[in-house]
Amino acid sequence: MLVARHQLERAQIRTTLEADHRYRVVAEGVPGQECDLVCRTRPDVVIVSQPEEGAALGALKRITETPMPPAALLLADRLTGDGVRRLLRLRAAGILHRATAGRHLQWAVHAAAHGGLALEPGLARDLADTPTEPAGAGAGTEQARAQALLGALSPREREVIALAGDGMSNPEIAAILTISADTAKDHLHHIYAKLGIRSRLQAARIVWQAGLGDSTRGSDRPAGSPGGHCPPVICSGRSGGGR
């Protein structure tokens, strides 16, 4: 799903995305229409283009307040380090500069749709250069908290969240666990309710904090399905929790 102020910009984004057969734009609109579009079309990823950092924050807040919010990929200008961190705290699945977004859209949407975090290389370098806490500070508490959360899940739910945390789609999870894609989706809904979260990105963070990341790499991944069998659904301005 695409949200941008000008029709020409939406058309350019659509053309870039649909050049890759994996992506299909299901809706588009202007800022302020995010919630309605997301609730009606339930996209996997919402791309929001807003020139100003503050407007991007407002759009992201509206999206995250919808039931089962989609992954949100933000395109903005004049981003500050503090602004990027605020967007990440609001669970942005990706942040790109509007001027150079065309170079990065396809891989960024793929990452966002599969529970990853897509940062334009320049932004990622800026964040990496920002002073932070000493390595390991608070890590033990963070890991213990994440492990306690996962302890509230059933064994099957822990298997599902570990696979989702590795970026697998519902069809991939279903193939590995020998269940239907609908059952995998139902498990994720129950997991979200138990953990008090609303997205795959949040689930992936808990898995990573608990030390369960990369639990399914290797021969367990079904052959020929690096990104699942269904292309991610994208809508401008909103992205639903889709598949």
The CATH code of the domain that includes 124 is 3.40.50.2300
Please tell me whether the overall predicted TM-score, pTM, comes out greater than 0.85 for this model.
no
What b/e string do you get for 57-83 counting C-beta neighbours within 10 Å, with b at 16 or more?
bbbbebbeebeebbbbbbbbeebeeeb
Residue 168 Cα distances to 36, 63, 65, 164, 223, angstroms: 28, 23, 25, 5, 13
Residues 100 and 25 in one domain: yes
Instruction: Examine the domain organization and report whether 116 and 154 are in the same domain.
Output: no
Number of domains in the chain: 2
C-alpha 194/C-alpha 126 separation (Å) is 35
Q: Specify whether 195 is located in the same domain as 120.
A: no
pLDDT per residue over 159-195, tens digit each?
999 888 777 888 999 999 999 999 999 999 888 888 7
Instruction: State the virtual CA torsion across 204, 210, 211, 215 in degrees, nearest 10.
Output: -50
Query: Can you give the residue range of the structural domain that contains 153?
Result: 139-209
Question: In angstroms, rounded to a whole number, what is the distance separating the alpha carbons of residues 224 and 218?
Answer: 13
Domain co-membership, 33 together with 124? yes
Q: What is the pLDDT of residues 51-107, one digit of tens each?
A: 888 888 889 989 988 888 899 999 988 787 788 888 888 888 889 988 888 888 988
Domain-located, residue 170: yes
